[in-house]
Structure 1
Amino acid sequence: MGTWLHHALFAEESKNLLPWDSILARLVLAFLAGWLVAVAYAWGRRNSLTGTTFPGTLVLMTILIAMVTQVIGDNAARAFGLVGALSIVRFRTVMQDTQDVAYVIFAVAVGMAVGAGQPIVAAMCWLGVSVAATIFRYFPSVNVTTGVAVLHIRLGLGRNPETSLEPVIAEVTTKREMTSVETAKQGAAVDVEYRLQMRPDVSPATLVTKLNQVEGVQQVQFRKHVRDD
């Protein structure tokens, strides 16, 4: 029974793989390198408003790429298979968060590792991703960027967004940037979109209430969770 199970789970070529402790060491190094990438990203984008989850996604992706590299090795067929699987995910699935994409890649990579007869690689990667996910969940302060929201406002035509909206938005935010302005209702209104970071002592409901009191404002929409760039 043990021999059958071993042959069923482990491919013949797995004999040439690195031992489990070497695989674990490489994944740990990938984890640390991913943090360095995330810190570099935060430093380079320190003046921009970016989603909270994106630095964590960089860490996860570093671990996953290290795992996929181990699984593929010199096998070109696996490389093309991975590209095909990820292409289906990319073009057939709509995701609003970059970490969702990372977890889909995680599932594809684990499935590939198990199918290729490398369950040890899959187990080591699962351990690394689980540790990273636990850190992000229970220690949110390790995120190197802050929460970002999207504010969508419909303003009556003839109103200047900068003079009508900026004073109210500046009062309740620490950072903000206007990302788009476009006409709506066949030119009868203007849609303005902001990315912003709220002050911790101000709730979204307070912001929406203040904006609704501004003359000319027709509609306000606040979205706390946004797509990462």
Structure 2
Amino acid sequence: MLDLLTVQSSAAYPTVITMAYTLLLAFVCSTAIGFTYEHTFLGLSYSRNFVQALVLSSVVAATVMQAIGDNVGRGLGMLGALSIVRFRTSFKDPRDIMFLFAALGAGIGCGVFAWGIAAGGTLTFCVIAFVLSRSGLGTKNFFDGMLRFAMPNNSESRAQLEKIMRANIKTFVLITMREVDGGERIDVAYQVRLRRKRPANEVLKELTLVPGISDIHFMMQDATTEV
């Protein structure tokens, strides 16, 4: 059986087996990071290409670090070569940047043959990411979502609507109102906080009892974060 400590200590001139172990470990670590990103992602702008880029960036980082080794000249040359390439990809979510850094860090760790640090750091990062996604740390949403619909512009419909909303919604705040169809109808939007025992589909079903109501839309707070 191959002694991994012996392989790691002979890193000055990597052998084919050492390079294979390094690239394989970089692939495994980055795949774990990509899996974690996929299962903890919240929002609308999910990208399959970004997940694959996490894996590829780790392998590339490991390859670059092996090519540089302890040679200062190679490092400066690589720095000059990379300075020519301009990365113009923008990230809307700072969390995406952290996952990219994690993948690059795992690749760099593998490339300098710090296999234990790369594997341990990747495992710790993935566990913490899962814990944070389940804990709700940082969540500060007073409202559950936005409710929007159109209804007749008369006092009877408004009174019936208010009665239904007070019975089914814990808190609601009017945010927009505009007249349509020459003032005969109004288009309104509310920020709402649902009652625990009243899911959104039941609330929408109750709203359909208002005569003339139409175009009912309910958008959850997590989904409207990026809109």
Shorter chain as denominator, the TM-score bin is: 0.3 to 0.5
Which gives a bigger RCO, structure 1 or 2 (Cα 8 Å, sep 6+)?
1
Q: TM-score, normalised by structure 2?
A: 0.47
